[in-house]
Chains A and B, each alone.
Chain A
Amino acid sequence: MSLFSKFTSLFTRGERAVVDWNDLEQTLIGADLGPALAQRVSTRLHDARDLSLPDALAELLSPAERSLQVATDGPTVILVVGVNGSGKTTSIGKLSAYLARQGKSVLVVAADTFRAAAREQLQTWAQRTGVTCIAGRDGADPAAVAFDGVSQGIDQRADFVLIDTAGRLQSKEGLMDQLTKIRRVIEKKAPVSEVLLVLDGSTGQNALSQAESFTAAVDVTGLILTKLDGSTRGGAALAIEATLGTPIKWIGTGEGVGDIAPFDPDAYIAQLLAQ
């Protein structure tokens, strides 16, 4: 059954609609909103009888600006962070193509000097999208590689410098400290305009912990929510929006160059409720 028939009563409210609250809770929890947030939505709908379900979900979205912050002077530096395998390198590849298509000059920096062939993966993407890639040696200090990348971005008058970092689990303090250091070293050269946390769309309740820890380490300014081309509905990101106010800025929907788009609230909410 399509959702839109199932929850019609919640889309156009007004008259005393009969709502299957159980079903609603299941839908929201099934989308990874988590039990607490699901409860909050359902309470809100109980209280505000004229509120539609999509509007109740939209209320949870962050009021923060969703477009990329652009530097006024020199290249816009974007640091990309996240746990292992969330889609950082791929997202940088796609994002650089997106920006290049808008006529921007983009430089990508391979500061993941840890994972085997991570540098080559980014180089392959750069070739594919026709942007410049700056890379350090394997095992090189990632902060130094990032610093060099930003320096070259300034020299080459690039519009954007996108920095790829190694995946790290947020519970590893040493690695999180390393990330803080990377940011600090970059900022000796140029301010960081955006820190984008790449979140795998199928992540469950651990997502909030990721956002909290990465924000504590490097002050995350936005999310890239990936792999929404699968069967997941990506609701854990809504908990981040509602709790921390960190906005989702981009959505990843595949492994191809074009599979990235700026966040669209309506489409996101529709996907949350899809059955």
Chain B
Amino acid sequence: MFDALTSRMSRTLAGLRSRGRINPVDLEVTCGEIRTALLEADVALAVVDSLIAQVQRRGLEALSLKQAGINPGQQVITIIHEEILNILGTNARSLAVAKKPPTRIMLAGLQGSGKTTLAGKLALWLKEQGNTPLLVACDLARPNAVQQLQIIGEQIGVSVFAPEPGNGIGNPVTVAKAGLVHAEQKLFNYVIFDTAGRLGVDVELMKEARAIKSAVEPDDTLFVVDAMTGQDAVNTANAFNTGVGIDGVVLTKVDGNARAGAALSVTSVIGKPILFLSTGEKSTEFEPFYPDRMAQRILGMGDVATLAEQAKKALDEKSAARLEEKFVTGEEFTFDDFLEQLQAMKKMGSMSKLLGMLPGMPGAQGAQLKKQIEAIDDSETDRAAAIIQSMTPQERSNPKIINGSRRLRIARGSGHEVSSVNRLLERFAGAQKAMKQMKNARPGALPQGLPPGLAAPTSARPPQRPAKKSRSGNPAKRAEQERG
């Protein structure tokens, strides 16, 4: 569904590859494709056009160098990737720290962008690092926003300063000032001001935000912006930057499937770094920002790095190191590794979260991979585990020896049909092949898909079973699990 850059360009690039060297016409066409892909990712038009101009200039330079042996398509992608990284990585930093505590952090942004939720996450993150944060409820406009912050504070065990009931009652500037005094007196070392959502065009409310800012003189004023925002991101970011003054950006709802071009629009127009990502409804779903991952996401290359990291978290350290070792040295990939990967996958939980991290993959191959992921379910993982556990150690490390009679024995031992064993063997062969391909890929090149264990060859699935059915189970329960 997402016309990711890579899939969009695959045809163009195939043409380029066969000719071996890029020419100015090809470059023009390629830039056109990149432009469309970036616009589809919601990068602001002006930002897209300046990026394309850069790519064109650098592309032509590269042409004149006529580097032999380098895939020209890859070269163009590398250029655009670098240019995007340049913008996203500008002034990268973490949260400010005041010389004299408390460090003051003010949150500002549009209505519904996720400020209150973020306030809780930020507080929890600080608390976990041994700090003593205080939350101050300055959103006195939205019904029950004060109460929302109080509940969150209770959940995460962080104090909330809320002298006014809100719902239109109380003055946010007064509350902010009093909150700061309270933090100083009670020796909190961080104080986070949650403010009401406001539109950039609302002159009165922008003035109010400015007044809050002047009253508490934040060390960091963070602009909170929804990852799904479209072209308006630039107007809003500009309005907040001139109206209130922004030091940094937090991107929210990043757990969705938006390509999040707003990240690029905002950082590009105000020149301030993104500090954090808000990645879910739970207070723990909060991450530092990595420009490279975001660049890949905007380009639709799939968030391979995040995926790999998730996989690593799920595997225990030792086996992760072992897998990595194998990967580097090119050692044979065995059923033991495969089992480990399957179990890791299961631990990783929600497949949809994984899917969300893979906004797009190249061409037909990408579509196929996506289908494969959708086809994976827990019962299948369990079945695979049972079958593998019925294999002898020799069979696991050298699957080639698994002949007909061994298949029969494994099937009986695991309580499954021989056809299931056959399917698993096929699937394993696919994984092994993918592993080899990844090893042989040029260093630095992106793996063309998922880590091997994640991808089951589609042929391994009984064709009569629709993918939808495989996501069975109690929906309420699953929803609960997803929300924790």
Further 20 A-B residue pairs, CB within 8 A, beyond A200-B228, A206-B257, A231-B239: A26-B45, A34-B40, A36-B40, A85-B111, A114-B483, A117-B150, A121-B148, A170-B257, A171-B356, A174-B352, A203-B229, A205-B40, A205-B258, A206-B256, A209-B2, A229-B201, A230-B199, A232-B230, A232-B231, A255-B111
Q: Does A190 have its Cβ within 8 Å of any Cβ on chain B?
A: no
Query: Are B479 and A175 interface neighbours, CB within 8 A?
Result: yes
Most buried by A among B45, B261, B476, B479: B479
24 contacts between A and B (CB under 8 A): A29-B45, A29-B231, A84-B253, A114-B281, A115-B148, A120-B147, A121-B148, A141-B476, A169-B253, A170-B257, A171-B356, A174-B350, A174-B352, A174-B478, A174-B481, A174-B482, A177-B471, A181-B475, A181-B476, A204-B42, A206-B228, A227-B110, A227-B199, A231-B232
Q: How far is the CA of A181 from the CA of B480 in the complex (A)?
A: 13
Residues of A within 8 A of B362 (CB): none
Q: Is B262 an interface residue (CB 8 A)?
A: yes
Closest 4 CB pairs of A and B: A204-B230, A85-B112, A177-B475, A204-B42
* Chain A contact patch, size range: 35 or more
Measured in the bound complex, the distance between the Cα atoms of B151 and A121 in whole Å is 13
Complex CA gap A116/B167 in Å reads 15
B479 touches A174 (CB 8 A): yes
Q: A84 touching B262 by the CB < 8 A rule?
A: no
Question: B479 contacts A231, CB within 8 Å?
Answer: no
CB-defined interface of A127-164 with B at 8 Å, one 1/0 digit per residue? 01000000000000101000000000000000000000
User: Number of contacting residues on B, CB 8 A?
Assistant: 63
Residues of B within 8 A of A143 (CB): 476
A178 neighbours in B (Cβ, 8 Å)? 475-476, 478-479
A230 to B112, Cβ gap below 8 A?
A: no
Give the residues in chain A near B45, CB-CB below 8 Å: 26, 29-30
Q: Is A35 an interface residue (CB 8 A)?
A: yes
Interface bits B254-280 vs A (CB < 8 Å: 1, else 0): 011111011000000000000000000
Interface contact A83-B256, CB-CB below 8 Å: yes
Determine if A225 is an interface residue (Cβ-Cβ < 8 Å).
no
Interface pick from B136-144, B398-406, B423-431: B136-144
With A116-B151, A171-B352, A255-B111: A124-B256 Cβ-Cβ less than 8 Å? no
Residues B226 and A85 in contact, CB atoms below 8 Å apart: yes
In the complex, chain A residues 200-219 whose Cβ is within 8 Å of any chain B Cβ: 200, 202-207, 209, 212
Is B281's CB under 8 angstroms from A84's CB? yes
Give the distance in Å from the alpha carbon of A15 to the alpha carbon of B36 in the complex.
32
Say yes or no: B352 contacts A83, CB within 8 Å. Answer: no
Residues of A near B478 (CB, < 8 A) are 173-174, 177-178
Chain B residues close to A by CB (< 8 Å): 1-2, 35-36, 39-42, 45, 110-114, 141-145, 147-148, 150-152, 155, 167, 199-201, 226, 228-233, 235-236, 239, 253, 255-259, 261-262, 281, 350-353, 355-356, 471, 475-476, 478-483
Q: Which residues of A contact B (CB under 8 A)?
A: 26, 29-32, 34-36, 83-87, 93, 114-118, 120-121, 124-125, 128, 141, 143, 169-175, 177-178, 180-181, 200, 202-207, 209, 212, 227, 229-233, 235-236, 255
What's the nearest-Cβ distance from chain A to residue B479, in Å?
4
Closest residue of chain B to A180 (Cβ to Cβ) is: B475
A229 to B204, CA, bound (A): 14
Most buried by A among B231, B353, B355, B480: B231
What residues on A are CB-neighbors of B36 within 8 Å? 35-36
In angstroms, Cα B282 to Cα A114, docked, is 11
**B477: nearest chain-A partner, CB-CB:** A174
A231 and B483 contact, CB distance less than 8 A? no
Within the complex, the shortest CB–CB distance from B103 to chain A, in Å, comes to 25
Contact B231 A204 (CB under 8 A): yes
Q: How far is the CB of A62 from chain B (nearest CB, A)?
A: 20
B contact residues around A83 at 8 Å (CB):
228, 253, 256
Q: Which residues of A contact B235 (CB under 8 A)?
A: 231-232
Q: Is the CB of B42 within 8 A of A169?
A: no
Interchain nearest-CB distance for B471 vs A (Å)? 6
- Asked if B39 contacts A230 (CB within 8 A), the reply is no
Q: How far is the CA of A177 from the CA of B356 in the complex (A)?
A: 16
Given A85-B226, A169-B253: A230 touches B110 (CB 8 Å cut-off): yes
Q: How far is the CB of A170 from chain B (nearest CB, A)?
A: 7
- Given A170-B257, A171-B352, A32 and B230 touching (CB < 8 A)? yes
Cβ-defined contact, A209 with B257, below 8 A = yes
Give the distance to chain B from A20, nearest Cβ to Cβ, in Å.
15
CB neighbours (8 Å) of A35 from chain B are: 35-36, 39-40
Residues of A contacting B236 with CB < 8 Å?
202, 230-231
CB distance from B340 to the nearest CB of A (A): 26
Give complex CA distance A37, B144 in Å: 40
- Measured CB to CB, the closest approach of chain A to B198, in angstroms, equals 9
B-side contacts of A232, CB under 8 Å? 230-232, 235
How far does the Cβ of A116 sit from chain B's closest Cβ, in whole Å?
4
* In the bound complex, CA of A230 to CA of B205 (Å): 12
Tell whether, in the assembled complex, residue B142 and residue A85 are in contact, meaning their CB atoms are under 8 Å apart. no
Tell me whether A125 and B255 are in contact (CB under 8 A).
no
Specify which of B147, B262, B475, B482 lies most central, judged by the most chain A CB atoms within 10 Å of its CB: B475
Most buried by B among A125, A141, A178, A180: A178
State in angstroms the CA–CA spacing of A120 and B481 once bound together: 25
| One of A93, A117, A180 near B148 (C-beta < 8 A) | A117
Q: With A and B bound together, what is the CA distance between A188 and B169 in angstroms?
A: 42
A171–B354 CA distance with the chains assembled, in angstroms: 10
Residues of B within 8 A of A120 (CB): 143-144, 147
CB contacts (< 8 Å) of A200 on chain B: these are 112, 226, 228
Q: Which residues of chain B are near A117, meaning CB under 8 Å?
A: 144-145, 147-148, 150-151
- CA–CA, A181 and B199, complex, Å: 35
Smallest CB–CB gap between A192 and chain B, Å?
Answer: 17
- Chain A residues positioned under 8 Å from B483 (CB to CB): 114, 175
CB contacts (< 8 Å) of A124 on chain B: these are 143-144, 167
A172 and B482 contacting across the interface, CB-CB below 8 Å: yes
Contacts of B355 in A (CB 8 A): 171
A204–B261 Cα gap in the complex (Å)? 9
